[in-house]
Amino acid sequence: MGSFIFSFILVFGFLSLVSATIVNHDGRAVTIDGQRRILIAGAIHYPRSTAEMWPDLIQKAKDGGIDTIETYVFWNFHEPQRREYDFNGDKDIIRFLKTIQDAGLYAILRIGPYACAEWNYGGFPVWLHSLPGIELRTDNEIFKNEMQNFTTLIVNMVKEAKLLASQGGPIILTQIENEYGNVMWAYGAKGKNYLQWCVNLANSLNVDIPWIMCQQGNAPQPMINTCNGYYCDAFTPNNPSSPKIWTENWIGWFKSWGERDPHRRAEDVAFAVARFYQRGGTIQNYYMYHGGTNFGRTTGGPYIATSYDYDGFLDEYGNLNQPKWGHLKNLHFIIKSMETVLTYGNIETMNFGNGVEATMYTTNDNSSCFLSNYNQSVDATITFQEKKYFLPAWSVSILPDCDQVVYNTAIVNTQTSVMVKKSNMAENEPEKLNWVWRPEDINDSLKGKGSFTANSLLEQKIATSDASDYLWYMTSVNISKNDPFFNKQVTLRVNTMGHGLYIYFNGELVGSKYATGGKYKFVFEVPIKMKSKTNYITLLSVTVGLKNYGPHFDLEPVGIAGGPVQLIGSGNITKDLSNNAWTYKVGLNGEDTQIYNDFSHQLEWHSDDIPIKRPMTWYKTTFKAPLGLEPVVVDLQGLGKGQAWVNGHHIGRYWPTFMSPSYGCEECDYRGAYGPSRCETNCGEPTQRWYHVPRSYLQTDNNTLILLEEAGGNPTMVNFQTVTIGTVCANVNEGKTLELSCQGGRAISEVQFASFGDPEGTCGSFRKGTCEAVDALLVVQKACVGQASCSVDVSESMLGPSNCDSSISKRLAVQAIC
The contact set with ligand GAL (CB under 6 A) reads 115-118, 178-179, 228, 248, 254
In the complex with ligand GAL, which residue's Cβ is closer, 146 or 248? 248
Q: Least distance to ligand GAL from the beta carbon of 118, Å?
A: 5
**Which residues lie across from 437 on neighbouring strands?**
606, 619
In the complex with ligand GAL, which residue's Cβ is closer, 676 or 686? 676
Taking the alpha carbons of 708, 710, 716, 719 in that order, is the dihedral positive or negative?
A: negative
In the complex with ligand GAL, which residue's Cβ is closer, 147 or 738? 147
CB within 8 Å of 282: residues ≥ 6 apart: 28, 29, 30, 36, 37, 38, 39, 243, 244, 245, 342, 343
Q: Least distance to ligand GAL from the beta carbon of 654, Å?
A: 22
Q: Least distance to ligand GAL from the beta carbon of 472, Å?
A: 32
Strand pairing report for 171-176 and 211-214: parallel
User: Which residue in the shown chain puts its C-beta closest to ligand GAL?
Assistant: 116
Q: Provide the 3-class DSSP secondary structure of residue 718.
A: coil
Angle between helices 93-102 and 54-63 (to 10 degrees): 40
Peptide bond between residue 499 and the one before it cis (omega within 30 degrees of 0)? yes
Taking the alpha carbons of 558, 564, 570, 572 in that order, is the dihedral positive or negative?
A: negative
CA 34 to CA 19: how far, in whole Å? 15
Give the largest CA-CA distance in the chain: 103
- The amino acid sitting at 459 is E
Distance of CA 4 to the CA centre of its chain: 55
CB within 8 Å of 61: residues ≥ 6 apart: 42, 44, 69, 105, 289, 290, 313, 314
Q: Least distance to ligand GAL from the beta carbon of 300, Å?
A: 8
- The 3 state secondary structure assigned to 60-81 is HHHHCCCCEEEEECCHHHHCCE
DSSP 184: G
Residues in the chain, overall count:
818
In the complex with ligand GAL, which residue's Cβ is closer, 250 or 374? 250
In the complex with ligand GAL, which residue's Cβ is closer, 435 or 553? 553
In the complex with ligand GAL, which residue's Cβ is closer, 116 or 708? 116
Q: Other CB atoms closer than 10 Å to residue 106's CB: what's the count?
A: 24
CA 330 to CA 343: how far, in whole Å? 20
In the complex with ligand GAL, which residue's Cβ is closer, 182 or 574? 182
- 43 phi/psi in degrees, rounded to 5: -85, 130
CA 245 to CA 238: how far, in whole Å? 12
Q: Provide the 3-class DSSP secondary structure of residue 356.
A: strand
**Would you list the DSSP string of 409-468?**
TT---SPEEEEEEE--PPTT--SS--EEEEE---HHHHTT--SEEESS---HHHHHTTSS
Which of 179, 259, 459, 680 is catalytic? The answer is 179
In the complex with ligand GAL, which residue's Cβ is closer, 226 or 802? 226
Q: What is the strand order of the sheet 35-37 is part of?
A: 23-25, 30-32, 35-37
In the complex with ligand GAL, which residue's Cβ is closer, 138 or 178? 178
In the complex with ligand GAL, which residue's Cβ is closer, 117 or 305? 117
In the complex with ligand GAL, which residue's Cβ is closer, 50 or 299? 299
Q: Least distance to ligand GAL from the beta carbon of 767, Å?
A: 39
For residue 236, what are the CA distances in angstroms to 174, 460, 634? Answer: 20, 43, 46
Q: Where are the beta strands (DSSP E) in 637-687?
A: 642-646, 649-654, 680-681
Residue pair 103/55 in contact (Cβ under 8 Å)? The answer is yes
Q: Where are the beta strands (DSSP E) in 497-603?
A: 500-505, 508-514, 522-529, 533-542, 565-568, 574-576, 582-586
CA 562 to CA 564: how far, in whole Å? 6
Q: Least distance to ligand GAL from the beta carbon of 760, Å?
A: 37
In the complex with ligand GAL, which residue's Cβ is closer, 115 or 503? 115
Q: Provide the 3-class DSSP secondary structure of residue 311.
A: coil
Q: 654: closest CA among 621, 690, 603, 602?
A: 690
Q: Least distance to ligand GAL from the beta carbon of 179, Å?
A: 5
Q: Least distance to ligand GAL from the beta carbon of 178, Å?
A: 5
Q: Other CB atoms closer than 10 Å to residue 404's CB: what's the count?
A: 10
CA 299 to CA 546: how far, in whole Å? 8
Peptide bond between residue 302 and the one before it cis (omega within 30 degrees of 0)? yes
DSSP 772: B
DSSP 374: -
In the complex with ligand GAL, which residue's Cβ is closer, 299 or 464? 299
Which of 248, 259, 556, 630 is catalytic? The answer is 248
CA 630 to CA 745: how far, in whole Å? 10
Residue pair 192/184 in contact (Cβ under 8 Å)? The answer is yes
CA 461 to CA 467: how far, in whole Å? 8
Q: Is 431 a catalytic residue?
A: no
Q: Is 248 a catalytic residue?
A: yes
Which residues participate in catalysis according to the annotation?
A: 179, 248
